[in-house]
Structure 1
Amino acid sequence: MGRGKVELKRIENPTNRQVSFAKRRNGLLKKAFELSILCDAEVGLLVFSPSGKAYEFASHDMGRTIARYRNEVGLSQSNNQGFRTMEILRTEIDDLKRTIDNLEERHKHFAGENLSMLDMKELKQLERQLRIGVERIRSRKRRVVSEHINLLKRRHRALQEENTHLQKRLHELQEANIGSSRILGE
């Protein structure tokens, strides 16, 4: 009795997708190993996870296998500078895409999303990073509040001094007004 036919489409649930990736990756690596042993074939296999982590199997030296492949498809004879530049740019673009994906995933983790994919060690590390971040935020907040309080105290002192000055002036004007009314009244 065999399994039912699996519809080939992207698995939407991130946890199920990660589990399926791990199982199928291991199966693929096992098949590559078996092919190299049973058929005495030179096998090189590279697999990059969605997070950018590399997994590889090589029955011989991977560098030698890649050089042999390049030679076979005519890449090693290509002296075309444009082709090499394109290859370098593609590699850089792929690296940047992986970096963006990693950063987006970390952002989701910091927001408390997609935590089911993390193991205990990663959860503890995330918790530590969040704790450090909260401490920095609180420290900055205390500094801003303290600066604001000091500014308000300086304004308060300046207003008190101005008020004292105005009261003296009012008192002087009232005394001058009383003195001039005495002179007129005499």
Structure 2
Amino acid sequence: MTKTVKDYIRAIHDFPHEGIIFRDVTTLFADARGFRMAVDQLLHAYAGQRIDKVVGLEARGFILGGAVAHQLSTGFVPIRKKGKLPGTVISEAYQLEYGEAVMEIHDDALAKGDKVLIVDDLLATGGTADAAIKLCKRLGAELVGCAFVIDLPELGGRKLLEDQGVTVEALCSFDGH
């Protein structure tokens, strides 16, 4: 039987809290065939489109985004949690289940009109991706889309992004949280 990307993802129960099933992509990254399959499939939906920069979201989005940028022969831009980037940044706050977090990007990381693909491992509520979209747009970039390995559709992230006109691609989905 041929394996899919989903087959390489491990489920860890009750992490980080009781009742949560954590979808662990480190097992996907550790397998050469699985990792290559994921990167190739993330690229597939964007074949033939102009992409000037790949934006990866901290932290697993750095791994995927770097590999995708390499395959596209384009630049990579990290979006990080507050206080992690040196130099001048712009910030965007977003809501967490309990509280607020802030994402940042260098203020010169993207140019007006850059075609940008945002990459991360997981789409849940969409808060992090939404903050990333806002940061990219504030710098004048144009979104090509958002690509994820995993979608958790019950948490509504895809709908949040698509309602803004953003194209969302995910390689697999899981029920629940």
Quickly name the TM-score band, shorter chain normalised: under 0.3
More relative contact order, 1 or 2 (CA 8 Å, 6+ apart): 2
**Which structure dedicates a bigger proportion of its chain to strand?**
2
**Which structure dedicates a bigger proportion of its chain to helix?**
1
Using structure 1 for the length normalisation, give the TM-score: 0.22
Using structure 2 for the length normalisation, give the TM-score: 0.23
